[in-house]
Amino acid sequence: MTPQQMKAQFAQAQAMIRTDRPEEALALLTPLLMPSGGAPEIRFQMARALDLIGDTDASAKALDDVLKARPGEASVREAAIRAHTRLGHEDRVRTLYDEAIRADPKAIKPRADKAQYLQQIGDFDGAETILRRLLKQSPHETELYRMLLAGIKPKAGDPLVRAMKKLWTDPRLNDQGRMQLGFALAKAAEDTGQTDRVFGYLDAANAAQARLAPFDAAARDTEWAAYARAQDDLTPPASTKPLPLRPVFVTGMPRSGTTLVEQIIGAHSQAVAGGETGHALREAVRLFGPAEKMPALSEMNAVDLDRWASAYRRGVRRDTGAVSGVVTDKSIRCQLIFGLIAKGLPDARIIVVHRDPRDIALSIYKNHFRLGTHRYANDLGAIAAEIKAFRAQVDHWRDRLPVPIHDIRYEDLVADAEGQSRGLIAAAGLDWEDACLTFHKQAGKVKTLSLAQVRQPIHAGRREAWRKYESELAPFLDAWGDEPWD
């Protein structure tokens, strides 16, 4: 093979990767390894293709090979961090973060990223040490305060809280800073028993976030109407192929208890907790277009559905390593495509988690979501409308789907842990195992806001938390009106 032929074949493989044809890309790249002497560029493209296929283990090994040849490549290191994080290789991830820190010792981001990772794996002390040092160096970086408060419960008189309060009065504080600092101060006020100050900070933080990312309720309603129209026909084509892995979708409003439910199922020996993968809706949009352009299910043949299901499987395999068995998927908003899920993933199970809307509203309003997501979360009246919209969407599917929806209430789960957990395991199509009640002893990486809670046993301590703030929740209660809470 001449150098020109190798270059042309390499370019063709890159094009295959860009057009989501990773298997074909690998077939072109593999023969180039020997004549190129294992060139890092080829190994990196192979890692990308393996990642698309869902083979995270092989992708991570290829990335490590590239780093041996080019240890200073930041983009390769970042890809390796993502891969080893998915694989649960904690020591390797820590090493990679330390390499990133050594490469740029004055930069905030590598150390903040490591701290966030440590929180996800339960090393809150390690994360706190890093973040407090960063704040001494950069006391005006408001996001660091919010990150730190997510993993600690400060005591009254903590110098950190005094520093936040001083910064809060700085006239130079912009909306981004007020948003980050407001959520941190609200949590600090609640943690130190100053509940009368919590909503003052929350209202300011949410108002700032609303200015940065306004909410459009009409767009939400238009999107749902388009999805509902496109998924009217739920008759499955005869040749749709079941996947070797069986997804169990666990969905609900944010802060409703979906993480708890997923961890109970994920503690089973034949199940893996996949987290908020988002692959079902993301791949639907990629392959079929957004809601208003999505073709009707009646126009989709088995090939279309199998293509979507295979793309979903690749994503799940990449994130969890699972190629068969039960995988939970607690993707928020997947209720928008329950019809597609039922038709394209005929073995899937669906579990919907419900919780007292007042507790959901309080928890949503108290927590910062990544800017641009959950835009309704910055207004108590909009939160009421969003919960009602979610309920209506689930009810739309209840009598239409060929598979049953298993409903569970958070309050019932914490009141009767074993009875409700047994029902969950049965709904997932599994036999009971006692380990499902001790999930907190084996909790792994958690990417949601439930960083600390998921490492605690089931308890009723967070029920009716809204009562402490009943007067402050008046806009939500007024917007909810007379509709029953259950």
Judge if 157 and 274 occupy the same domain: no
Judge if 94 and 133 occupy the same domain: no
Residues 90 and 114: beta-carbon distance below 8 Å? no
Residues 5 and 27: beta-carbon distance below 8 Å? no
Domain count, the chain: 3
Query: Which are the contacts of 268, defined by CB distance < 8 A and separation ≥ 6?
Result: 326, 425, 428, 430, 433, 435, 436
- Measured in degrees and rounded to the nearest 5, phi and psi for residue 273 equal -85, 115
Helix, strand or coil, per DSSP, at residue 327: strand
CA atoms lying within 13 Å on the CB side of residue 135: 23
The CATH number that applies at residue 448 is 3.40.50.300
Q: Which parts of 276-410 are beta strand (E)?
A: 325-329, 349-354, 405-409
Judge if 229 and 348 occupy the same domain: yes
Judge if 98 and 161 occupy the same domain: no
Q: Does a structural domain hold residue 425?
A: yes
pLDDT in the model for residue 446: 43
Q: Does a structural domain hold residue 110?
A: no
Judge if 156 and 270 occupy the same domain: no
Judge if 277 and 416 occupy the same domain: yes
Nearest C-alpha neighbor of 63 from the set 52, 78, 95: 78
Judge if 72 and 207 occupy the same domain: no
Distance set, CA 172 to CA 140, 212, 376 (Å): 11, 17, 27
Q: Does a structural domain hold residue 324?
A: yes
pTM: 0.90
* Average pLDDT along the chain, 486 residues, taken 10 residues at a time: 94 95 96 94 97 94 96 95 96 98 96 97 96 96 96 91 96 96 97 95 98 97 97 77 88 95 95 94 96 94 92 92 92 95 93 97 96 96 98 95 94 95 96 91 51 53 83 97 88
d(CA 207, CA 303): 47
pLDDT in the model for residue 237: 67
Judge if 135 and 157 occupy the same domain: yes
Q: Does a structural domain hold residue 172?
A: yes
Judge if 339 and 458 occupy the same domain: yes
The burial of 428, by beta-carbon neighbours within 10 Å (0-12 exposed, 13-18 middle, 19 or more buried), is given as buried
- Measured in degrees and rounded to the nearest 5, phi and psi for residue 154 equal -70, 155
Q: Let me know how many helices (H) and strands (E) the chain has, helices first.
A: 23, 5
- Measured in degrees and rounded to the nearest 5, phi and psi for residue 335 equal -65, -20
Residues 460 and 292: beta-carbon distance below 8 Å? no
Judge if 180 and 226 occupy the same domain: no
pLDDT in the model for residue 250: 97
Q: Does a structural domain hold residue 363?
A: no
The CATH number that applies at residue 2 is 1.25.40.10
Judge if 174 and 227 occupy the same domain: no
Residues 58 and 49: beta-carbon distance below 8 Å? no
Q: Where are the alpha helices (DSSP H) in 88-172?
A: 90-103, 108-120, 124-137, 142-149, 159-168
The CATH number that applies at residue 128 is 1.25.40
Examine the fold and report which residue of 105, 134, 157 is the final residue of a domain before the chain moves on: 105
pLDDT in the model for residue 457: 61
Q: Does a structural domain hold residue 32?
A: yes
Judge if 230 and 208 occupy the same domain: no
Q: The domain containing residue 151 runs over which residues?
A: 115-212
Q: Does a structural domain hold residue 35?
A: yes
Examine the fold and report which residue of 76, 105, 134 is the final residue of a domain before the chain moves on: 105
Examine the fold and report which residue of 212, 238, 263 is the final residue of a domain before the chain moves on: 212
Q: Does a structural domain hold residue 51?
A: yes
